[in-house]
Structure 1
Amino acid sequence: MAMFDARSGLPTALRRRPRHRQSAARWPWMLLPALLFFAAFWLLPFARLVQTGMTLDRSTQHSGYWTVISQPQYLQSLVNTVLLSLAVTLMTLAIAAIVGCFLARQHFVGRGTLLALLTFPLAFPGVVVGFLVVMLAGRQGVLAQLSLGLFHERWTLAYSLSGLFMGYLYFSLPRAIVTLVAASEKLDRSLEEAARSLGASQWRIVWDVIVPGLKPALLSSGALCFATSMGAFGTAFTLGTDLNVLPLTIYGEFTNYANFATAAALSVVMGGVAWLGLMLTRMLTHTKEENS
């Protein structure tokens, strides 16, 4: 039997419809400030960046995108940046996963202090990280002084891709450690005990139980690490402007040669590669959720 409202005499379901319609009509207006902010500070500038990349380059008289794909130095810069970012990502995840599992499972005096020290570099900008790499592996750094005393020659790594790898790794590790410590604390230890009771070795437990349990955290940390390494500028600029990586290449084209078209095209390409990495991570994460 239908319920009627005492005041209006209308069925209760009909009386409530206008409220739902008002709520449905109200939520787009609530999103308007966020949409305006998104359009003003990202969509419009990025559209302008894409348009600038289509203009003619001053040196080649071709569009910026054609210059990027036709000139080997720009392609080499892109390859160097992608490979360096992948290497940093893989090394960061390997170290952070081991450290995260250890700190999540071991409780000892000074554990909180150790975790605080490991995450302290989060407060450092890229320029400071580059300066620390110079102090460690620069011409007057610790490594150079030790090699000079032992082998009578200075070993320097700071001003090469090896030094940049060290800087990016130092910059990325604290963020990954924070994420993986929290993820390791949520692992179901009973699954490991069950696998161990069935005779599984420690390596089988790691690959079949721990790694799948940490997979969402590993994917998210890896995506952020890769995207950050692709566009990191402060560390690379501190270690030397001759390094052939995309952030410094974009900086040189923009400031030294005023090739705005090439700089814009390189920026779009770099952003596109980082975006593809993030989208691939989301696809892998959604695939895991659907399979589970």
Structure 2
Amino acid sequence: MPTETRRLTLLLLPTGIFFSAFFLLPMAKLFMIGGGGVKGWSAYTAILTDNNYLNSLLTTLGVGLATTIVTLIISGISGVFLQRHKFPGNALLVSLLTLPLAFPGVVIGFMVIMLAGRQGIIGDLSEALGHDRLVFAYSLSGLFMGYVYFSVPRTILTVMAAAEKLDPRLEEAARSLGASPWRVLVDVIIPGLKPAMISAGAICFATAVGAFGTAFTLASSIDVLPMVIYTEFTMSANFAMASALSFVLGVVTWIVLALARSASSATVAAAA
């Protein structure tokens, strides 16, 4: 074995051991358990044939997609603005926007309850205005709010880092050629941010579809897939079905991340 190849093998060996021990082996075990229950290997198709599982999957993907879109819009606008406009209190505002990074999902869920729960601030305001008490913390709207609040801080930092690397000369050239602010945004700024937005969006989506703490706190009557897995595992002791659903959720998330990485790389290559 050539010296260079041996050196590369030794350098990659710790990564390979770590990857095998904490990903490949657990996923293989999860896959085998999923096919070893009463339903056998058909447990992996039950998520498409059983209405309860299918509806939970569609709800999970729908909330994850909506969270990703709204998060990218909020983070894109805010991140570019905060990066390009330095004003008194800018650093403090960025710190406040990224404060939820320190909170686990359960805490985020309780904050949504304090805002839109039965004793929440929004309910107090709606009653003070003479309307019925507005409570939506325990619905899809509350779950969506929690996911967005949880995702924005992670995404806005990525956008700010990408906005810092944008070449201002490209925008100046576009303006000098008569491009309107809208055309500069569409033709220069968004393409420049696209790789970072794709990567951040994929992570946001993966986090939303797999989030358990916030869903556990809020989703008392919402069957998102993490809650269904929890119920199958703890309430029904259906370890095989819980494993099958977990494996399918993991594969779906991995596919989204792989496609995003591919699209992001292709975008960078095209820009180069």
TM more than 0.5 = yes
- Report 1:7-18 matches (<5 A): none
Equivalent position to 2:3, from 19, 22, 39: 22
Question: What pairs up with 1:159-170 in 2 under 5 angstroms?
Answer: 159-170=138-149
State how far apart, in whole Å, the 2-side matches of 1:98 and 1:29 are.
Answer: 45
Which stretches of structure 1, 4 residues or more, deviate above 6 A after TM superposition? none
Q: Please list, as runs of the form range in 1=range in 2, the aligned pairs for 1:24-103 lying within 5 A after superposition.
A: 24-57=5-38, 63-103=42-82
| TM-score with structure 2 setting the length | 0.95
On the 8 A contact 1:68/1:262 being kept in 2, the answer is no
Change (3 A) 1:26 1:193: closer
Distance (Å, rounded) in 2 between the aligned partners of 1:37 and 1:250: 26
The residue number in structure 1 matching 2:211 is 232
- State the alpha-carbon separation in 2 of the partners of residues 206 and 23 from structure 1: 47
Give aligned-pair identity as a percent.
54
State whether structure 2 residue 248 is matched by structure 1 residue 266: no
Output the CA distance in 2 between the equivalents of 1:67 and 1:182.
Answer: 43
Give the structure 1 partner of residue 178 of structure 2. Answer: 199
Contact 2:117 2:137 in 1 (8 A): yes
1:121 paired residue number: 100
Distance in 2 (alpha carbons) for counterparts of 1:179 and 1:29:
33
Residue segments in structure 2 that go unaligned for 5+ positions in a row: none
Shift, 1:194, TM fit: 1.3
Which of residues 251, 261, 270 in structure 1 aligns to 2:230? 251
- Aligned-partner Cα distance in 2 for 1:184–1:61: 50
Query: Which amino acid in the other structure matches residue 151 of structure 1?
Result: G
Q: TM-score, normalised by structure 1?
A: 0.89
User: 1:63, 1:261 within 8 Å by CA — same for their partners in 2?
Assistant: no
Where structure 1 has 5 or more consecutive residues not aligned to the other structure, the ranges are 1-19
Instruction: Measure the CA separation in 1 of the matches of 2:189 and 2:213.
Output: 35
Partner of 1:217: 196
TM-fit CA distance, 1:155: 0.7
Partner of 1:188: 167
Per-residue deviation, residues 75-118 of structure 1 (Å, max 9, x unmatched):
00000011110100010000101001111111111111111111
Paired residue for 1:10? none
Return the offset for 1:29: 3.1
Tell me the distance in 1 between the aligned counterparts of 2:201 and 2:23.
24
In the alignment, the residues of structure 2 paired with residue 90 and residue 134 of structure 1 have an alpha-carbon distance, to the nearest angstrom, of: 23
Equivalent position amino acid for 2:244 in 1: A
In structure 1, what residue type is equivalent to 2:24?
Answer: L
Q: CA deviation at 1:64?
A: 1.8
CA distance in 2, matches of 1:111, 1:26: 47
Structure 1 contact 122–171 (Cα < 8 Å) conserved: yes
Does the residue aligned with 1:187 lie in a helix, a strand or coil? Answer: coil
Larger-Rg structure: 1
Deviates more, 1:235-244 or 1:128-137: 235-244
Aligned 8 A contact 1:180 1:218 in 2: yes
> What is the RMSD computed on CA atoms of the aligned residues?
1.6
- Tell me the distance in 2 between the aligned counterparts of 1:228 and 1:270: 12
| Aligned position for 2:121 | 142
